[in-house]
Amino acid sequence: MDRIASVSIPVSGPAPTGTTNAYVIGRSDALLVDPAGESDDLERALDRRSPTAVLATHTHPDHVGALARYAREYDLDVYTRSGYEKRFERATGVKPDANVRDGDVLPAGDFDVEATSTPGHAPDHVALTIGGVDATPRSEVRNGRVLVGDLAVAEGSVFVGPPDGDMRGYLTALRRLHARGPAELLPGHGPAIDDPRAVLRRLIAHRLDRERTVLAAVRNGHETPEVVVETAYEKDLSGVRDLARRAVIAHLEKLAVEGSIEWDGERARPVANC
C-alpha cells in the first residue's frame, strides 16, 4: 500500500482539469487532504488507512465538497488555517476543531506534515510538506514532497484574481517554495510535478511576462481592465474573458502597491515622470 494515496475526483465548477486530487497521507492514523467530492476510490483509500484528521489546502468548493461528509463519517479532527475559521465554516458547514499556523507540524501516520502559508490563489491557502522518520529525516523536511493545492500545476497556470487572489502574495509563495528546493510537488489538479524548480520558474516567468504587458498597456494610455485585457492577451478570450479581466485587476493591484501605476479600482494611469 502506498503511503500517500492520490485520488482523482471529478468535480463540477471551474476546476482546471475537471478533477481535483484528494490525498490520504500515512498508512495508519492518516491525514485526509482536499476531499473534493464523494468518491468510492477515496473511501477505499480511507478505509485502509484509518484516518484521524482532515485539512484543506484552501476552502474553494472544488477542494472541500465532501469535507463535511467524511469528517462526520470517519470522526475526523478538522483543521483549518489560523485566522480563517469563519471562512472555513462558511465554505464547509463544519466548525473546525483546531487551526494550523505557518510552520506548524501535524502528525500523519508515519509522516510529519509541515504547513506553510502560501496565500495568493486564495488567502487561506497552505502548502503541506511531507517529512518525518519514515519519509525523509526530520532535518530534510524542507526538501520533501509538497502538496501544493492550487499554488502550482504541471501544465498551464492557476487563476489569481479578485475576490480571493493576491498577485504579490502568489509570486512570494512561488519564490519561497522555489527557495526550499522540494523534491516533488503534488498539485490539486493534474499530474505530480517531478521537476519542481523548473515548473516554479515557468510559473513565475509567466506572471512577470503578463505584468510587463499590463504595465505597457497602462503606459500606452489604456485605463480600464476591459481595455487592458484586450491588449495584454493575444489569444482568443471567448469564454474566459471575465477570468482574464480579473487576472488583469490582480496585476494592476500589484503594480499600484509597488508604485508603478496609479489604480483607483476602476481606472489605471501611469505614474507621473516614470
User: Which residues form the interface with Zn ion (CB under 5 A)?
Assistant: 60, 150
Sheet holding 111-117, edge to edge: 105-108, 111-117, 126-131, 145-149, 184-187
Q: How far is the CB of 121 from Zn ion (least distance, A)?
A: 6
Residue facing Zn ion at closest CB distance: 60
Q: Which three cell numbers stand for residue 130?
A: 511531507
Q: How far is the CB of 14 from Zn ion (least distance, A)?
A: 9
Helix residue ranges, H only, the chain = 40-49, 61-64, 67-73, 85-92, 167-180, 196-219, 225-232, 241-257
Q: Which is nearer to Zn ion, 177 or 217 (CB)?
A: 177
Measured CA distances, 258 to 197, 232, 237, 267 (Å): 26, 20, 28, 16
Sheet holding 77-81, edge to edge: 4-10, 19-25, 31-33, 53-55, 77-81, 98-100
Which residue is it, cell 519542481?
196
Q: Which is nearer to Zn ion, 150 or 253 (CB)?
A: 150
Q: Which three cell numbers stand for residue 133?
A: 522518520
Q: Which is nearer to Zn ion, 114 or 150 (CB)?
A: 150
Q: Which is nearer to Zn ion, 21 or 260 (CB)?
A: 21
Q: How far is the CB of 120 from Zn ion (least distance, A)?
A: 11
Q: Which is nearer to Zn ion, 112 or 150 (CB)?
A: 150
Residue 125 phi, psi (nearest 5): -70, 135
Of 260, 250, 9, residue with least CA distance to 122: 250
DSSP H/E element including 240? none
Measured CA distances, 192 to 18, 155, 249 (Å): 16, 11, 30
Q: Which is nearer to Zn ion, 119 or 196 (CB)?
A: 119
Q: How far is the CB of 185 from Zn ion (least distance, A)?
A: 16
Q: How far is the CB of 66 from Zn ion (least distance, A)?
A: 16
Q: How far is the CB of 155 from Zn ion (least distance, A)?
A: 17
Q: Which is nearer to Zn ion, 96 or 120 (CB)?
A: 120
Could you give the angle at the alpha carbon of 165 between the alpha carbons of 159 and 170, nearest 5°? 80
Q: How far is the CB of 122 from Zn ion (least distance, A)?
A: 6
